[in-house]
Chains A and B, each alone.
Chain A
Amino acid sequence: MTIRRVLTAALRRRPHALCGRARSTARCSVSDHRVRARRVLAAALRRRRRALVMFGLWSALGAVPVLVFGRSVAGATDAFLAHRTWPALAWLGALAGGAAVGAVGAARAYGPLAAIVEPFRDALVRHVVRGAVHESVRTGRADDGAVARLTQQVEIVRDTFSGLLSIASGFAFTLAGALIGLLTLMPVTLLLVVPPVVAGLGLFLGLVARSVRRQRELILAEERIAESATALAGGLRDITACGTEEAVAASAGRLIDLQAAAARSMARLAAGRTVALAVGGRLPLLLVLAAAPWLVRRGATPGVVLGSLTYVLQGLSPALATVIRGVGGSGLRLAVTLDRVMSAAEVPPVPRPSRAGGSELALCRVTYAYGPDAEPVIDDLSLRVPEGDHLAVVGPSGIGKSTLSRLAAGLLAPVRGSVTLGGVPAAEADPSVRALIPQEAYVFGGTFRENLSYLRPGASDHALDHAVAAVGATPLAERLGGLGGTVDPAALSAGERQLIALARAYVSPARLVILDEATCHLDATAEERAERAFAARPGALVVIAHRMTSARRARRVLVLDGTRAWLGAHEDLLEDCPLYRELHGHWTTEGQAPAVR
């Protein structure tokens, strides 16, 4: 994909260009945005060179009315003044014909424009989607901004990119048409027209360069306001309860004032554009008017004078007005927004080494922490889960049980120590050897069969039916209309979603199944049924327990308590481990009347 190539090329040159999303706003300088945006856009245009040429040709045809306008006015005026009606009408006919040609050109230009813009949009959508999926897989967090990038920012890029292409080509060909027209009418007028136009454009470009930083500040100020409003609206109850209305209003107010200041400073620059417009669009007219007596003395007919003025009035001035009013903000908006879209890191899928091995899980003196300054979540833990084992992991919430499951599956790399599956480092082991089912069951819109065979594509209906029955999902299957039935994730309860995820794991080829609170939304009976089904399944089972009853069913129990860990059978732990006793005691007594204090 071209974007990726461009991006990797850009990265090679400036490694910090692809800093994370949060950091990119702070650290990447404005020039980085523009460089990256320019590269990506240039690549998009290069890829569609043919469409670009066709777009140019049709746009050129679209400028034909401008080209013939002044000449027709000149010819018709002189003919009318000479009372030669037919030649006059012929000139007007030429003008009408030019308008028709121009209309065809303008309409046909949209085809190649679409052929440039639409594939570019497709590429951006692919980039956003693949980036978001890979990023969420890498970090374990859903990127909240991905949907906004997909639906809003990509569309802003699509609109501004096509708008800029249209404005740029419209300006170029209208300007060319007017200048060529003047050249054929009375070449000397070009001396009056070209210098102010060049000066006006120069002024304008200078202003654009100066407005880049402020425009960016404005966009960022608007984003910060939106973020603060979201936090405020979601936390009204807490703000009131803490009595911090004034402090929150003050901090939100500061952002509001910052945005207003940025908007005011943009308004001053916008006013400056008028100067560029006056020099480039109006000065030529005044010069031609002032020089008119001289032109007449040099033999200009009334028609030629009128025609020249028409070229300036109807060609040059509107073209400059369009480009000066149209390009100013949108060019930068495109650059900044495109950069936002691109900064969703596209993780080039590194081919994961996949080595076949056994299924015995071994953790050797494993330590894991979330940051270099953070205290370890798992500290010097060693553990073996042989084939056929059934291990339950218990401990207070937030103690690192899920972290352990991700380490075991090779999704996290330990800071120290090693995690192996069948002797192969867990991160490199064939993923189909183990299945990890997290608490949030993943169910997607599609058929029941597609959802069930997710981990074993092409599994037979018989195998799927067996799995459904084994985990106790038969009533759900019937309700959905069997394997061919459609699954609407939003219409399912959390428990039903977990049943689907369980059946999926059951039918998978995995020799090690890790259930990370994967049954927490089932009732105790349904949980027991599912767990027993997995225990009877060949291979090893690790259950991160939500209820203590899961521990009683296991062959061995691992108790985690942050700094320490105990491993043993249920009965032994009840005797040796006070925490286990406590966990167990609280669970069992909760249902009954607690001791009276």
Chain B
Amino acid sequence: MTASRLVIRTVRYGGVWASLLAVTSLLEAGATLLLPAVLGRAVDGVLGGSRSLTWPLVYAGLVAVSMTCDALTDLSIGTGTAAATARLRHLFTRHVLRLGPSAGLPAGDLTSRAVTATADTAYAPSAAILTATAVVPPLGGVIALILLDPWLALTFGLGLPAIVALLRAFVRDTSAVVGRYLEAQGRIATRLVETLAGNRTVAAAGTAEREAARVLAPLPDLAAHGHATWRIQATISGRGTLAVPLLRVAVLAVAGYELSRGRLTAGGLLAGTQYAGLGADIGPVIAQLGRLARARAGAARLAPVLDQAPPAYGPASLPDGPGLLEFRGVSAASVLDGLDLVVPGGGAVAVVGRSGGGKSLLAALAGRLADPDDGEVLLDGVPLTSLEHGALRDAVGYAFARPALFGDTIAEAIGGDAETAARAACADAFIRRLPLGYRTPPSEAPMSGGELQRLGLARAFAHPGRVLILDDATSSLDTVTETQVGDVLTRDGRTRLIIAHRVGTAARADLVAWLDGGTVRACAPHRELWPDPEYREVFGE
């Protein structure tokens, strides 16, 4: 799906509100265009001594139409955009969740797409319609001038280029100054980040005031560039406030001359000055074009993600079984190449190998956090790809080196019998020391990397599945805790696939799968492999 197609699809999301907007904004533009002419007629009638109320009433009616349409336009822009934003956000969020880790984008990037790009794109229906209708007043204004008096139109036509040149100068002049301003701001931000990261040192040294002064050192620079932005705006504004009134004076002079010649009525003069104003009113067109461009840019950021096909789950449920995990000729990401491995049901297999050798990839494949390019992974004889979503996720639990916790409290983030699981993961003691114990929200708990890891382990222990996959999940634990967790793991009757860096972890497993060159070089108990110097080298021996 291209960005343009997504924009078109989004326009359809506007639904009934977009249709309403199209009608009301067009009606409003039409009324805006008719108002000066009708006012002119009404004024001429009054000045001519006519007692007819026709034109004043038509004028009042048009004002009522214009105002009603204005209100409905505001309403449909706001409501339609809100609806389209919500639909895009639902769509994008659900799609990203279906993609899971295969979305393959940095978190910050994904966040800005989910929040900002959706909102920008959702303005597409309004921007598209308003761009079309915003053309009506300036275009109609010029046509009205021609109809009213060609000389007025000519005068206007000669002055218009000045206004266009002015609007262009604005974009050109400001960007450089604004760039320098942002750069100075960035320097302050960088220093602030440095200092905040070093808060413990600053606290210990008692140098907070000195640090604040250091961070603020570029502030005079920021202020200088800030003043420069105002000076530029002053210059541009000076030109702007002069150009439009002078154009009006010129039109007025010609209109007056035509008035004195009897070729234009007083009402015509009033209408002429207003049409000149309408004709010059190209600001809204440019603004809406800008918003349309932003909507398209937003769509260009959403479309590639929405285009990715999420991994499909099959219909199969999982038969009873010991949790036998098989890799058959698995190739993935040009790292694993035709790998075969059998993890016996209820057994523990440690995976070792050089960093970058595909250990984490193997862990991801084992529970279908990624799919192989070739070959297949089976659990108790059933290919993972044919398993139904719930069946697969209920069967396989994971623990990671840097787990992300979801839930309002620590207990919720762990799930299941949180306290038992936490005790198994040696996390119970430190959780109890948190300000609200198990009720502490994860985001407010001051946690070290090791403590976070233990919560991730607890979550995995609380998982009821038949397979447990530990991807470097004990790397930040001290040796004592690791031993204790290792003992729990050894007693666990589930199938365990453990990515390991430390000798101790490998030694405790039933088998060690030694990854080398994209395949399993050997799969044997640790003590049998240890004599091999190349094996020892894997652990930095």
Q: Are B192 and A122 in contact (CB under 8 A)?
A: no
Given A92-B253, A260-B83, A309-B39, are A239 and B406 also a contact pair (CB < 8 Å)?
Answer: yes
Is A114 within 8 A of B191, CB to CB? no
B478 contacts the other chain (CB 8 A) = yes
Whether A245 contacts B432 by the Cβ 8 Å rule is no
Q: Does the CB pair A411–B43 fall under 8 Å?
A: no
**Contacting pair A240 B101 (CB below 8 A):** yes
Are B433 and A77 in contact (CB-based, < 8 A)?
A: no
Chain B 215-250 interface residues, beta-carbon cutoff 8 Å to A: 215-216, 219, 222-223, 226-227, 230-231, 233-235, 237-239, 241-242, 245-246, 248-249
B105 CB to closest chain A CB (Å) equals: 8
Q: A103-B238, A292-B43 are in contact. Are A137 and B199 (CB under 8 A)?
A: yes
Contact with B477, one of A278, A286, A397, A594 (Cβ below 8 angstroms): A397
Select one of A260, A303, A440, A489 contacting B86, CB under 8 A: A260
B interface: dominant SS: helix
| Stretch of A80-88, A462-470, A564-572 contacting B (4+ beta carbons < 8 Å) | A80-88
Contact status of A267 and B75, CB under 8 A, knowing A114-B227, A229-B114, A256-B93: yes
A296 engages B101 (CB within 8 Å): no
- Tell me the nearest residue of chain A to B72, going by C-beta: A271
Chain B residues whose CB sits within 8 angstroms of the CB of A102 once the complex forms: 241-242, 245
Is B259 in contact with A80, judged by CB distance below 8 angstroms? Answer: yes
Q: Which bucket holds chain B's interface residue count?
A: 35 or more
**Are the CB atoms of A409 and B204 closer together than 8 Å?**
yes
**Contacts A271-B75, A397-B477 given: A293-B46 contact, CB under 8 Å?**
yes
Report yes or no: B43 in contact with A306, Cβ–Cβ below 8 A: yes
Complex contacts, B405 vs chain A, CB 8 Å: 235, 238
The answer to the question of A9 belonging to the interface, with a C-beta cut-off of 8 Å to chain B, is no
A-binding segment of B144-152, B315-323, B329-337, B388-396: B388-396
Chain B residues near A195 (CB, 8 Å)?
none
Q: Does B98 belong to the interface (CB within 8 Å)?
A: yes
Cα-based distance from A259 to B233 in the complex (angstroms): 35
Interface residues of A in 440-473 (CB under 8 A from B): 440-445, 454-455
Option from A114, A134, A440 in Cβ contact (under 8 Å) with B198: A440
Task: Find chain B residues with CB under 8 A from A302 CB.
Answer: 43, 47, 266
Q: Which of chain A's residues have a CB closer than 8 A to the CB of B504?
A: 586, 590, 594
CA distance A245 to B101 in the complex (A): 12
Pick from B127-135, B160-168, B434-442, B491-499 the stretch touching chain A: B434-442
Neighbouring B residues of A341 by C-beta, 8 Å: none
Contact yes or no, B249 A229, CB < 8 A: no
A271 touches B81 (CB 8 A): no
A235–B398 CA distance with the chains assembled, in angstroms: 13
Whether the Cβ atoms of A147 and B192 lie closer than 8 Å is yes
Cβ proximity bits B96-110 to A, threshold 8 Å, 1 near / 0 not: 111111010101111
Query: Which residue of chain B is the closest to A230 with respect to CB atoms?
Result: B111
A444 in contact with B198 given A151-B185, A562-B429 (CB within 8 Å): yes
Of A143, A226, A286, A583, which is within 8 A of B196 by CB? Answer: A143
Q: How far is it, in angstroms, between the C-alpha of A102 and the C-alpha of B96 when the chains are bound?
A: 54
Q: Cβ of B239: which chain A residues have Cβ within 8 Å of it? A: 103
**Distance in Å: Cβ of B200 to nearest Cβ of chain A:** 4
Q: Are B60 and A286 in contact (CB under 8 A)?
A: yes
B342 on interface, CB distance cutoff 8 Å:
no
Contacts of A80 in B (CB 8 A): 256-257, 259-260
Chain B residue contacts of A133, Cβ below 8 A: 192, 195-196, 199, 202, 208, 211-212, 215
By a CB distance below 8 angstroms, the chain B residues around A271 are 71-72, 74-75, 78
Interface centre among B195, B204, B230 (most CB of A within 10 A): B204
The answer to whether A103 touches B242, judged by C-beta atoms less than 8 angstroms apart, is yes
Q: Does B524 contact A (CB under 8 A)?
A: no
Interface flag for B16 (CB, 8 Å): no
- Interchain CA distance A96-B246 in the complex, whole Å: 6
Chain B 494-536 against A: per-residue CB contact (8 Å), 1 yes, 0 no?
Answer: 0000000011100110000000000000000001001000000
Minimum CB distance partner of A589 in chain B: B504
Residue of B nearest to A238 (CB): B404
Q: What residues on B are CB-neighbors of A178 within 8 Å?
A: none
The distance from the CB of A155 to the nearest CB of chain B, in whole angstroms, is: 8
A125: chain B residues at CB < 8 Å are: 188, 216, 219, 222
Q: Given the complex, which residues of B lie within 8 Å of A264, measured CB to CB?
A: 78-79, 82-83
A130 touches B242 (CB 8 A): no
Interface residues on A, range: 35 or more
Nearest CB in chain B to that of A141: its residue: B446
Inter-subunit contact A240/B238 (CB<8 Å)? no
Are A81 and B260 in contact, CB atoms less than 8 angstroms apart?
Answer: yes
Interface window among A10-18, A366-374, A475-483, A528-536: A366-374
Q: When A243-B392, A267-B78, A275-B71 are in contact, do A411 and B85 touch as well, CB less than 8 Å?
A: no
Minimum distance in angstroms from A230 CB to a CB of chain B: 5
A172 touches B (CB below 8 Å): no
Whether A407 is near chain B, meaning CB under 8 Å from some CB there, is no
Measured between C-beta atoms, what is the minimum distance from B208 to chain A in Å? 5
B291 to chain A minimum Cβ distance, whole angstroms, is 16
In the complex, residue of chain B having the shortest beta-carbon distance to the beta carbon of A255: B89
Minimum CB–CB distance from A346 to chain B (whole Å) comes to 11
A597 vs B394: C-alpha distance when bound (angstroms): 32
Contact B204 A411, beta carbon cutoff 8 Å: yes
Asked if A40 is at the interface of the complex by the 8 Å CB criterion, the answer is no
Within 8 Å CB of B39, what residues of A? 289, 309
Question: Which of these, B406, B477, B507, contacts A244 with CB under 8 Å?
Answer: B406
Which residues of B are found within 8 Å of A305, using beta-carbon distances?
43, 46-47, 266
Docked-complex contact A259 and B199, CB < 8 angstroms:
no
Interface string of A561-597 (1 = CB under 8 A from B): 0100000000000000001001100110011011011
Interface: B56 (CB within 8 A): yes
CA of A571 to CA of B39 in the docked complex: distance in angstroms?
104
Which of A243, A310, A313, A579 has the most C-beta atoms of chain B within 10 angstroms of its own C-beta? A243
Q: Say if the beta carbon of A299 comes within 8 Å of chain B.
A: no
CA distance A305 to B189 in the complex (A): 59
Are B201 and A501 neighbours in the complex by a CB distance under 8 Å?
yes
Given contacts A248-B406, A306-B43, A73 and B252 within 8 Å (CB-CB): yes
Contact across chains for A233 and B111 when beta carbons are under 8 A apart: yes
Which residues in B have their C-beta under 8 angstroms from that of A562?
429
- Residue B101 contacts which of A77, A79, A85, A236 (CB distance < 8 angstroms)? A236
Taken together as a complex, chains A and B put the C-alpha atoms of A398 and B428 apart, in Å, by 12
Report Cα–Cα, A463/B435, bound state, in Å: 45
Known: A248-B406, A293-B46, A436-B200. A110 touches B233 (CB 8 A): yes
Asked if B369 is at the interface (CB within 8 A of a chain A CB), the reply is: yes
Answer whether residue A499 sits at the interface, using C-beta atoms and an 8 A cutoff. no
Contact A137–B208 (Cβ < 8 Å):
yes
A583 adjacent to B479 (CB under 8 Å):
yes
Known contacts A374-B432, A590-B503; A455 and B74 CB within 8 A of each other = no
Q: Whole-angstrom distance between the alpha carbons of A241 and B393 in the complex?
A: 7
Q: B269 an interface residue at 8 Å Cβ cutoff?
A: yes
Residue contacts A-B, CB under 8 angstroms, 15 given:
A22-B444, A106-B241, A122-B219, A125-B216, A129-B216, A140-B203, A147-B192, A229-B114, A245-B97, A264-B78, A267-B74, A267-B77, A374-B437, A397-B450, A397-B481
| With A264-B82, A586-B483 already in contact, 20 other A-B pairs whose C-beta atoms are closer than 8 Å | A22-B444, A81-B259, A85-B260, A126-B212, A141-B199, A141-B446, A155-B185, A233-B108, A234-B107, A241-B397, A253-B93, A272-B71, A302-B47, A303-B266, A305-B266, A349-B208, A434-B204, A437-B204, A582-B483, A586-B480
User: Closest 7 A-B residue pairs measured CB to CB?
Assistant: A267-B78, A243-B393, A442-B198, A235-B404, A107-B238, A371-B435, A240-B100
